[in-house]
Amino acid sequence: MVLRYELHRILLDALESVQPGSVHLGHKCIGYDETDDGIAVHFEGKPSVMADALIGADGVHSKVRQKMFGDVRQNFTNAIAWRGLVPIERICEKYRAPMATTWVGPTAHITSYPVQHNGRQFISFSGQVDSQQWEQESWSEPGKLEECLRDFEGWHEQVIEMISGADVLYKWGLFVRDELPAWARGRAALVGDACHSMVPYLGQGVNLAFEDSCVLVNVLTADQSIESALQQYDALRRERGYKVARASMDMLRVFHHADLGNENKASSYIEQQWSKEKVRERYDWIVSYNALTVGV
């Protein structure tokens, strides 16, 4: 369990150690144009750059995807999400165990786990709540404490303690986009949320981006043209990416189920849906995939 900021730092440090100066910040991509022998990537207020290939890892609002396919419809999932980071000293000792915990209910659930940053320990949490209200699609939109407490009114004291202990709460709407007919065209390709944004109910968004990247490395280092390599990447990754995304969406009906609001049914429902066998059925086919060997 790793804080995203720390994951970025680890990756950046590793890249800088083998290829110093390869990361250039402050460049906002606004599009690209292909030429006979390369691809020109354009930036807002910066000179364009020529490259052999362009990999659009630019998230749900991808400019690379927009250039490839135009506007792609976003679909609100009738759910909003909350997230926060709580210094561990604000949490009662009995709730500081180094383990992931998920609280489930008929219309909401919340998952928490410990992380570290700059030598300090925190509890990170993410909660999803059924909602017909259309929210902004952003991971950095501040939310109000009283709104979050209202969404989890009557929940366990650990949930209330986490929500109340966060310095900043973020709130955003959960959206998914229509599946694309391809992830590669010419010398350009998409990875991660740019091509398969998904809800967090299986916790696979970042993992799928890593898988994409591994397969891209495999095909781009093989003895073939850029265009052929990216077409191979598309053929190897698109079906799996969307299969995981659909499975993640299906989990909403598991997390938010009417039986969880019935005192006589809730325990048996949890025992059935989170039994060791059921969890293996849910995850084994995902985590047994070895991206390092795909496309080799």
Cα 130 from Cα 122, distance rounded (Å): 27
**What string of DSSP letters covers 122-155?**
EEEEEEEEE--S-----SS-EE-HHHHHHHTTT-
Q: Count of residues for the chain?
A: 296
Q: Do 175 and 137 touch, CB atoms closer than 8 A? A: yes
Q: What burial class does residue 71 get, using C-beta atoms within 10 Å of its C-beta: 0-12 exposed, 13-18 middle, 19+ buried? A: exposed
| 233 a catalytic residue | no
CA neighbours closer than 13 Å in the CB half-sphere of residue 225: 8
Which of 5, 95, 113, 269 does the annotation list as catalytic? 113
- Residues known to be catalytic: 113
